[in-house]
Structure 1
Amino acid sequence: MKNIFVLIISLSLFYSCGAQEITTERAVVSSQNETSSRPKLVVGIVVDQMRYDYLTRFESKFGEGGFMRMINEGFNCKNNHFNYVPTYTGPGHTSVYTGTTPKYHGIISNNWYDKDIKESVYCAQDDSVESVGTESSAGKMSPHRMLTTSVADENRLFTQMRGKTIGIAIKDRGAILPAGHTANAAYWFHGKDEGVWITSTFYRNDLPQWVKDFNDSDTVESYLKVWDTYQPIETYIESGSDLNDFERGFNGKETATFPYDLTALKDENGGFDVLKATAYGNSLTVDFALAALEGEALGKDNDTDVLTVSFSSTDYVGHNFGVNSKEVEDTYIRLDKDLERFFKYLDENVGEGEYTVFLTADHGAVDVPAYLESVKIPAGYLDYNDRKERFQKFLVEKYGTVDIVENVSNNQLFFNKAKLKELGLDIHEVEQALVDEQISYPNIAKVYTATTMNSTDFTIGIEALLQNGFNQKRSGDVIIVDDIAHIAYSKKGSTHGSGLNYDTHVPLLFFGKGIKQGQTYNKTVIPDIAPTISALLGISFPNGATGQPLGFVID
């Protein structure tokens, strides 16, 4: 009987150990499968100031390897919008990668009035760090004002910091904010008389050798050449006349017309900064991104890396020449070629089917209002000086001083709380009085109070967009909405910032590993992007994310 008992125990231990080994093997295989299902590299592309209709307007001019490859092989969200205002570069890039809106991530504009220190601050400004790669202050930047994590941060945390993150853009904010707080580095272009790519001590204390090599090469100088149309200009029927009254152009050239001799124009247009407002700025960005892929060995192991690339020059060109210009059309035709070059490099060096790309924009842009007026569409320009005079007169007449308002910026009024208390004024009564006054001014469509933003839950309309852009600690006390297609800008060139379709409707393309082929007209919003990439990677959503993963995109 004793021998039988020992035999049973022995058999139990044998089968138990065997089962444990099988379970362990399955766990290892499952882990390997999970790892292999993830892309080796995620590339996030933001095209600064890209309206959705640029995809359709210029489609006949695109090749098969850039935008059209993403559309034909990937997923096209055709009804993608920003769900907040203001639609500016800083908030836009931040919202794409954090999966939420300024209400939570805190980047409420490019610049805003800081109520604590009583002065204007820049979204990426950081005086606690030093420039790397230049003696100028252009490198004193970091993401410290961004309150939440980005999807790149979450990937770094998930991979125990083994997965790399590199951010790249001509604009500092376009490189810094997408890359997040834990990035290995972010690099941006410093033009003027240097023409180099730089970073800050937030990331590292010196430039890596590959960046030094790039800066020492003649790549930047090679773009100081003639900018002419890529295709014959007479074929650019998707845009207006090259010679018109709606474009600024460059200093030193009488007309805003092709061709542009950038060598001759350099000295009167900020030195190497002249490249920013040409299609060549995007080509330079791709050159540097390719150098980063090689220099950082991105996508070379099983820990997913993240490369964020923002094409800033499309914004500079749009501001300078306007939505309907030949210059904008040529810039997108050339960008399409640059994307093709970029994707081919990824195919050859990371592996076709081993990387995932998404492409979107940080905002759109309005047609030049002067042009809209010329074709009898309601539009116009705002006279802020007249508003200021009327408002100051009102404040003096009603309260005996203008000091109860300490700042007016970003279509917001900021109260001097100490002055209100000194005068014994009720803040809610003052809020409403200022709303009633401002709404009487020309070209102001709506006015709301901070109290309304904090106490009412809006779900539709401009009110919901305002609320999503309203950060209780950083935003103002009264918020103003201007009339449609009315801007405070020169009558040549264009801008953005509103909650209207021309500013909110932007592309959203997914392409590569783990992405279905297809399209949808269902509405998607910018904060959906980061949770979608998180779901694809099987990692945590950014910690403040309010968007939802787009399951119909993921294969």
Structure 2
Amino acid sequence: MKAGVVVIFVLFFSVFTGAVWAQKHSDQNNKSPKVVVGIVVENMRPDYIQRFWDKFQPGGFKKIYNEGAVCSNVKLTLHSQNYASGTATLFTGVHPAIHGIVDKNWYDRLRKNEIECTGDDYYMTVGADTEAGNASPKNLLSSTITDNLKILTQGKAKVFSVGLNRESAIFAAGHAADAAYWFDVNSGRMISSSFYVSTFPDWVRLFNSENYADKYSHRTWTTLLPETSYEECLRDDYILERGYFNEYNTFPHAINKYIKRTNDFRPYKTTPSANMMIKDFTLRMMENENIGDDDVTDFVTAIFSSMDYENGSFGPASLEMMDSYLYLDQYIGELISSVEKKYGKENVLFFLTANTSASYPVEYLKDEFNLSIDYFNVESAIALLTSYLNITYGEKEWIEHYSDLQLYLDHTIIEKSDNVTLNELRDVTSNFINQFEGVQVSMPAYQLEQGSSANGMLEPIYKTYFKNRSGDLLFNLKEGWQPGYKFKRVNYTDQSRIPLVFFGNNIKAQTISGRHNAADLVPTLSEMLQIPVPDKCQGKIIEELLTN
């Protein structure tokens, strides 16, 4: 009898607690936000928050980190860390081996030319008489969370993205977005592609008529605070800091003078004023596109920059970098304040993350901290490899193309050769590259095609390799090493840690220290928005956000 009572009690308790959990879960799910606002920062190291904390204002980064759920251990697993692959991974929930964006550029064997990942001459620039809008997301082979939101709301959800770089803007928007906008360095305007926009909105024309780039490029970039108060960074005249054109590395920066040297607005993209333009454009867009005006969740992404292509010329410890983040802190604070005022904090889900991190310059780490690192001279390595192949197999153009971390062999020449097969030459070249001091590991393509769930130093290579887009061998450099060229400058990082914070929409303030990946953003947002997790998604839901 007692046993029966116990069983009944246990069953009742289980049903009761299950019902309570289900009700709690249902209540939470019913609180879908009116608007999701993604704040993505290119080249952002997580430790910038700790380093610059005392100088931040209350309403920007401090507000997000004090009131949000902070995921403190998040990695972006890529072979080549770049904002194109990073954004694609963040918004699809899969890695380049599936979504196909192996890098910003890759070699197309059929065209015998390097292509840019968003380039598409079938579509035209909307908003300027340039080719900067001849682009589309056609090379992105996976759907984004914004695509899924569009599909599952029968197109009712409004989806927009805004960025300085078109790759970031396009991959955040996805295939089905209402529009993606980015900055055109040739015209100085915010533009789009006919893939998204057939008729350019009047409000964007009006915005462009304000001539942000031209107006603010004529204003000298000066520090937000007195230079003496920037104790968290190096002196402005630090001798190893390369600066603009390997020449200008101290404040004030006459951006208009730099623009005259480049003959376009690229230097403007490296300044705080460019981030201010992105903030203002985003708010203007939310006003004019009726964002959040109905019961269907809308999705807006704003992508800011950390000095853009000049990131490596100054580095994480520079005064310029710190000043950029102090300005950005203000702009993010203004964005949050305006959005919360318009929709109410409980109706907006913010997330802050990055699509790339940043490395310290080689010279800085070598000279200041005696680290055993250097540049891997790519051109010299290829020249030595070419000589070796010619001596071993005969004088032919065995190497068709190479980039920072991969190499493409000429398959046509190899097929006609009686001396060597494709996989044999892949092994030979991979073993040769492995001999260089700065190389951690090199892998031939045929081994990557066999598939593996390898972790550690091989994981980024396996998760990035995509047949017909990746090279015949891929290699990683040792920690701290960077590719170097005689006349070419690259913005390279081997750092994979990125920030990830969720804020607003009844998010509980907490620190989540468990190990997570950038691919976890999509399934987590999907759960919050009550839409199915994509079938091919490689990420996992961050459960701590949903159970507290």
Shared fold (TM-score, shorter chain, > 0.5) = yes
Structure 2 residue 468 is the aligned partner of structure 1 residue 473? yes
Query: Does the 8 Å CA contact 2:179/2:192 hold for their aligned counterparts?
Result: yes
Number of residue pairs matched by the alignment: 519
Query: Which of 490, 495, 513 matches 2:491?
Result: 495
What's the offset of the Cα at 1:456?
4.9
Query: Which of 423, 428, 445 matches 2:440?
Result: 445
Say what the alpha-carbon RMSD is for the aligned residues.
Answer: 2.2
Query: Which of 386, 390, 399 matches 2:384?
Result: 390
Query: Which of 340, 343, 346 matches 1:347?
Result: 340
Matches within 5 A, 1:379-418: 379-418=373-412
d(CA) in 2 for partners of 1:423 and 1:268? 48
Query: Does the 8 Å CA contact 2:207/2:281 hold for their aligned counterparts?
Result: yes
d(CA) in 1 for partners of 2:211 and 2:333? 23
| Equivalent position of 2:180 in the other structure | 186
Q: Which moved more, 1:173-182 or 1:455-464?
A: 455-464
Query: Does the 8 Å CA contact 1:65/1:340 hold for their aligned counterparts?
Result: yes
d(CA) in 2 for partners of 1:437 and 1:271? 41
Letter aligned with residue 497 of structure 2: H
Letter aligned with residue 257 of structure 1: T
Query: Does the 8 Å CA contact 1:246/1:322 hold for their aligned counterparts?
Result: no
Structure 2 residue 419 is the aligned partner of structure 1 residue 427? no
Q: 1:383 to 1:428 in 2, by over 3 A?
A: same
Q: 1:314 to 1:353 in 2, by over 3 A?
A: farther
Q: 1:494 to 1:434 in 2, by over 3 A?
A: closer
SS of residue paired to 1:488: strand
Query: Does the 8 Å CA contact 2:123/2:134 hold for their aligned counterparts?
Result: yes
Structure 2 residue 276 is the aligned partner of structure 1 residue 283? yes
Query: Does the 8 Å CA contact 2:312/2:361 hold for their aligned counterparts?
Result: no
| Equivalent position of 1:23 in the other structure | none
Structure 2 residue 183 is the aligned partner of structure 1 residue 168? no
SS of residue paired to 1:168: strand
Query: Does the 8 Å CA contact 2:386/2:398 hold for their aligned counterparts?
Result: no
Query: Which of 24, 41, 50 matches 2:35?
Result: 41
Q: Which moved more, 1:337-346 or 1:374-383?
A: 374-383
What's the offset of the Cα at 1:459?
3.4
Letter aligned with residue 146 of structure 2: A
Letter aligned with residue 521 of structure 2: I
Q: 1:438 to 1:33 in 2, by over 3 A?
A: closer
Identity rate, percent: 29
SS of residue paired to 1:360: strand
Deviations 1:248-270 (A, max 9, x none): 3335x954111123344442344
Query: Which of 502, 512, 524 matches 1:510?
Result: 502
What's the offset of the Cα at 1:493?
8.8
Letter aligned with residue 107 of structure 2: Y
Letter aligned with residue 479 of structure 2: I
Deviations 1:221-260 (A, max 9, x none): 4423121111111111111111023333335x95411112
Q: Give TM-score, length-normalised by structure 1.
A: 0.89
d(CA) in 2 for partners of 1:493 and 1:113? 19
What's the offset of the Cα at 1:490?
7.3
What's the offset of the Cα at 1:308?
1.2
Structure 2 residue 356 is the aligned partner of structure 1 residue 363? yes
What's the offset of the Cα at 1:301?
1.2
Query: Does the 8 Å CA contact 2:374/2:482 hold for their aligned counterparts?
Result: yes
Query: Which of 532, 538, 545 matches 1:546?
Result: 538
SS of residue paired to 1:112: strand
What's the offset of the Cα at 1:484?
2.2
Query: Which of 296, 299, 306 matches 1:306?
Result: 299
Query: Which of 317, 323, 342 matches 2:316?
Result: 323
Query: Which of 117, 138, 162 matches 1:123?
Result: 117
Query: Which of 245, 249, 257 matches 2:250?
Result: 257
Structure 2: runs of 5 or more not aligned:
1-23
Deviations 1:13-44 (A, max 9, x none): xxxxxxxxxxxxxxxxx9x9898511011111
Q: 1:374 to 1:161 in 2, by over 3 A?
A: same
SS of residue paired to 1:552: helix
Query: Does the 8 Å CA contact 1:133/1:206 hold for their aligned counterparts?
Result: no
d(CA) in 2 for partners of 1:497 and 1:403? 30
Query: Which of 413, 431, 449 matches 1:454?
Result: 449
d(CA) in 1 for partners of 2:403 and 2:189? 33
SS of residue paired to 2:323: helix
Letter aligned with residue 319 of structure 2: K
Matches within 5 A, 1:54-69: 54-69=48-63
Q: Which moved more, 1:382-391 or 1:179-188?
A: 382-391
Q: 1:489 to 1:218 in 2, by over 3 A?
A: same
Q: 1:130 to 1:428 in 2, by over 3 A?
A: same
d(CA) in 2 for partners of 1:124 and 1:397? 39
What's the offset of the Cα at 1:217?
2.0
Letter aligned with residue 491 of structure 2: T
What's the offset of the Cα at 1:340?
0.4
d(CA) in 1 for partners of 2:194 and 2:153? 24
| Equivalent position of 1:177 in the other structure | 171
Query: Does the 8 Å CA contact 2:348/2:505 hold for their aligned counterparts?
Result: yes
Query: Which of 83, 97, 107 matches 1:113?
Result: 107
SS of residue paired to 1:58: helix
Q: Which moved more, 1:300-309 or 1:145-154?
A: 300-309
Deviations 1:119-139 (A, max 9, x none): 211011011101111111111
Letter aligned with residue 281 of structure 2: F
Letter aligned with residue 465 of structure 2: F
Query: Does the 8 Å CA contact 2:312/2:491 hold for their aligned counterparts?
Result: yes
Query: Does the 8 Å CA contact 2:42/2:306 hold for their aligned counterparts?
Result: yes
| Equivalent position of 1:7 in the other structure | none
d(CA) in 2 for partners of 1:146 and 1:234? 47
